[in-house]
Every structure is written in structure tokens, then in C-alpha cells.
Structure 1
Amino acid sequence: MPPRLEAICRTFLVTPALHLIHHSPNFAETNSNFGFSTIIWDRIFGTFRAASASDKPKIGLEYARHAADQTLTALLINPMKPQP
């Protein structure tokens, strides 16, 4: 999305850049931007985060980056396992 359009849309919509922050391995960033279309609920509940701590944030969980963690079975079991 062009930067100017991104800046305008992110005042009320969840843009791709805002949603990407939610997928950060940093817990403070992961625990933010839960909305899927508008940012109103994140603003109301204090979970809105306008920017990542990094210009090019990493995404995904550090402990689940191996190919074995990406199989269907592993993905289905993962929510039930204790996390590090």
C-alpha cells in the first residue's frame, strides 16, 4: 500500500502494516492490534499499537520456526502445549 494511503487508512482501518505488528515475536507487540477491519476496539481496550519497535519487524514465534513446527499435526497440537 502506498505510504500516503497507508497513513490515511490507518486512522480508522487495520492496514497490512498495522496487522503485521500483531505477528511480532515481541510479546508487547503480539498482544496488540487484534482488530480485523477497524481499529476502534483496539483503541477502546488499549491494545492499539501504531508502530513496531523495528522498521522491518520479524514475525512469528521464535520457538516455532522449524519445519517440524509447521506440520498440520504440530499446528493443531501447539495451542494445547505449554509455551516457553
Structure 2
Amino acid sequence: MRVKPPFRHKSPLRRLGDSVSDQLSDAASRVKPDLHAISSGKAVKTGLITAGSVAGLTAGSAAISSLRHRTGRERDDS
């Protein structure tokens, strides 16, 4: 029977993910509820910046995952 450690430490990658998630939720909570007052050009620009940021985070996450899988396979092959 395996005994679990009393505390589970988060990996650096998990801490980074939590930090990004916290930042995004903080930014979302600061958005003004009266978005209709913003001119449409500014709303479009803000939306594009947000979409680009999310796409960048997704691509970065995929790259990290790919590298982790690749290094894991190299260790198994040797």
C-alpha cells in the first residue's frame, strides 16, 4: 500500500497556469459592464487583442506540451 505525501506541491508549469488564469479572471472582472458605451472600433480592437492573447497562450501551452512529450520519448528510447 502506497502512502500519499501529506502535501502535494504544484509543478512550476501548474503554478504558471494558475497565475495566467488568475490574471485573466482579474482582467475580465475589471471590464466595464456598459460595453455599449464603447465605440465599435475600440471594442473590435479590444476583442482582437484579447483573441490574440488567448491564441498566444494556447500556442505556448501546446509547444510546452509537445516538448515535454518529445523529451519523455527520448528518455524512453535510450
Same fold? TM cut 0.5: no
User: Larger RCO: Structure 1 or Structure 2 (Cα < 8 Å, ≥ 6 residues apart)?
Assistant: 1
Larger Rg, first or second structure (1 or 2):
2
TM-score by length of 1: 0.23
The structure carrying a bigger helix percent of its residues is: 2
TM-score by length of 2: 0.25
